[in-house]
Amino acid sequence: MNTLVAVAIAPFGVGDELAREVAEVVKVIRESGLPNRTTSMFTEIEGEWDEVMKVVKEATFVLAEKGIRTEVVLKADIRPGYSNTINTKVDKVNDILGG
């Protein structure tokens, strides 16, 4: 079943600058081969439920396995019969706005 998640996976208690650790997380997501997009606050991942959750777990554990306390915020949109919602949801809004 098609699943689109917005996930933020971040280390907790390792200082003020988190870019290096976040980059490790994003690398795992990008290497998964699933459609994804990273913004300043979240990374979106789209695919079948089990595939997406596997990637979220692997991306989380890249930090946790180093002994780093890791915080995960996840929002999911499960929409049977649809695909490419990572793009089409935004496209629909942009079409309405004329751009």
**Among 3.10.20.30, 3.30.1740.10, 3.30.70.930, 3.50.50.60, what is the CATH number of 2-97?**
3.30.70.930
Q: CB-based burial of residue 22 (10 Å sphere; 0-12 exposed, 13-18 middle, 19+ buried)?
A: middle
pLDDT of 99 reads 65
pLDDT of 70 reads 96
Vertex 88, ends 6 and 54: CA angle to 5°? 35
Q: Return the number of other C-beta atoms located less than 10 Å from residue 2's C-beta.
A: 17
Burial readout 60-86 (b: 16 or more C-beta within 10 A, e: otherwise): bebbeeeeeebeeeeeeeeeeeeeebb
Boundaries of every domain in the chain:
2-97
Average confidence (pLDDT) per 10 residues, the chain, 99 residues: 97 85 97 97 98 98 96 97 95 92
